[in-house]
Structure 1
Amino acid sequence: MTYVIALPCVDVKDRACIEECPVDCIYEGERTLYIHPDECVDCGACEPVCPVEAIYYEDDLPDEWATYHRINTEFFQELGSPGGAAKVGPTGYDHPEVAALPPRGDAA
């Protein structure tokens, strides 16, 4: 099991979750953040600090954002498991479904 970042993070990327994550498993895309499913240790430290409530335990992901479990997993197909987001830095890309979303909030 793992935590998943859903739609409310798109075009927000507050990064408070990155600061809280003890295993450095939250990676930065162009428009949103992604939790590496193989690196996450399910500690839950990221969830309460997210100001837009975008982080959910996999089993608690609302139906309306169920696709974000797949999106988070597929984001890492090319990147693999580098063993920490800090050494990778911002990736400069997003999952195609996130990239295709219209701008949200202040990004509009």
Structure 2
Amino acid sequence: MEGCWSRRGCDDEMQGRCPHNVPGEPCPADCHYAACHRPTHVVCEDFGVLLNPNRDYDAAVKQVCRFCEHFLVNGPDIDPETRTRDKFSGRNRFLL
């Protein structure tokens, strides 16, 4: 079966981290096909909202959602009873 990256012309680097190639990973923010064109999509500039440690960033299917004001304000919070160390941490999500 042909992967979507073959039809879309993605380079080897993008193929290596594409969620269609790596299950469970969010769509990379720099993927052309992950762009959000919804009217609710606004890039958040408020660090208090961006760094909310209670937000469930794993609920975002795309990396683009993780800095979208709509998701950051309206998205789900982490359930304190199921929170584990393995879960994505909002505290260090900007470290490369």
The TM-score bracket by the shorter chain reads under 0.3
TM-score (norm 2): 0.26
Larger relative contact order, structure 1 or 2 (CA cutoff 8 Å, min sep 6): 1
TM-score by length of 1: 0.24
